[in-house]
Amino acid sequence: MQLGVSTRVEIQIATAGTPLRFQTSFIGAIEERWFIVAMPDARRYGDYRDALHEGVPLIVRYILENDHGEIVAFRTDIDYIVAHPTKMLFLAWPERIESRVIRANKRFDAYLPITISRLTEDQVEQQAAVMVNVSSSGCRLSILPAQSSQWAEGDKIKLHVPRIDEQALEIEAIVRQIQRGSENHENHDDDEGDTVRHFLGLQFNPQFKPIVDKLFLGSLVDINALTEKA
């Protein structure tokens, strides 16, 4: 399923008259048997947990980050609920999986160190991040785990993109996805050694399209500097 551990998934309880949805984390899978997710957080979804028991039908949705960007969905039901070592839902392996491309613009791989800050009137300290890929409509940032808890879906964010011998680009965006976990094929060596990175999926503010276009006008990274560091 090409799904990284700790990817956020949305689950809808499909019982008639119970249109409940919650978000949780993907734990793993046993091919052709189970799709395993964490029990929803009791502090946020305490009432929902009472509706979860073996046999309850569910609809599972998640965003698959690839070259196109897809939303994946399938129907299933709860086979087992396990309490140890942590509460988990073992969902029946889906008979059919549906997907739909949600990204209209092609994304390009990048490794661009930038800084980010919350878009508020207050002066907020900037945080380091890495732009992993970018399109004309959005991008994906790699951040440290300690930073991910400071962001939520819907937060407004400002990107500060450095340029050689020119003023930095400032682009406003909104947080659309938070992925807590690692994807080995997208981890990069950095000053933190082997520290696991988390990811933010951003949608650019359309009003900043002229500035976003400048990201594609040429290299924004000092290749010589990177060579010297290596």
Nearest-CA neighbor of 131 among 166, 173, 192, 164? 173
Strand partners, 105: none
Query: How confident is the model at residue 121, as a pLDDT?
Result: 62
Query: How confident is the model at residue 229, as a pLDDT?
Result: 37
Alpha carbon distance 41, 101 (integer Å): 29
Query: How confident is the model at residue 187, as a pLDDT?
Result: 40
> Which tokens go with 47?
């009432």
Domains of the chain, earliest start first: 8-101 (2.30.110.10), 108-229 (2.40.10.220)
Residue in this structure with the two tokens 């696991």, named with its chain if needed: 196
Query: How confident is the model at residue 221, as a pLDDT?
Result: 37
Positions in the chain short of pLDDT 70: 1-2, 16-19, 65-69, 101-107, 121-124, 165, 181-196, 216-230
Query: How confident is the model at residue 194, as a pLDDT?
Result: 45
For the full predicted model, state whether its pTM sits above 0.75: no
Calculate Rg over the CA atoms of the chain.
Answer: 20
